[in-house]
């Protein structure tokens, strides 16, 4: 028996799946997760975001581009100051995908538990 990896109706590749790929790819890096954690406290400049990391501003900028492409952050323009801010929609979409899959797998594990409980004792 083949078990689909995603809930019913979500097997087709589409823009939503492409966006989820970008989000999960962006979240796979600890530096980017730390940047998101900082932005959860409020807007910050690239210099502010780079401060705690032992990497160049150029490297932080590359991380920000990945986060921006994934829709996790947005960068504003205020004269010379370009604040970065958290964008919640992409993260909410990923969280929804995780929740839907968690429900599917919890139901499958519950059924497995029932099958195991019904097995005869040897």
Look at 26 and 79; give whichever has higher pLDDT. 26
Provide mean pLDDT across the span 111-116: 90
Q: If residue 74 lies in a helix (H) or strand (E), which one and from where to where? A: strand 73-75
pTM for this predicted structure: 0.75
Q: Which fold has domain 15-118?
A: Arc Repressor Mutant, subunit A (1.10.10)
Confidence band for 8, pLDDT divided at 50, 70 and 90: very low
- First-to-last CA distance in the chain? 26
Q: Residues 61-98: pLDDT tens digits?
A: 999 999 999 999 999 887 677 899 999 999 999 999 99
Domain layout of the chain by residue ranges: 15-118
């Amino acid at each position: 028996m083949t078990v689909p990896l995603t809930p019913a109706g979500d097997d087709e590749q589409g823009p939503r799946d492409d966006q989820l790929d970008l989000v999960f790819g962006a979240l796979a890096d600890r530096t980017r997760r730390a940047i998101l954690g900082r932005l959860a406290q409020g807007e910050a400049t690239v210099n502010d975001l780079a401060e705690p990391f032992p990497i160049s501003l150029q490297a932080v900028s590359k991380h920000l581009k990945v986060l921006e492409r994934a829709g996790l952050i947005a960068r504003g323009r205020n004269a010379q100051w370009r604040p970065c801010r958290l964008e919640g929609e992409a993260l909410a979409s990923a969280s929804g995908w995780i929740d839907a899959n968690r429900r599917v797998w919890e139901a499958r594990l519950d059924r497995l538990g029932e099958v195991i409980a019904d097995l005869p004792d040897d």
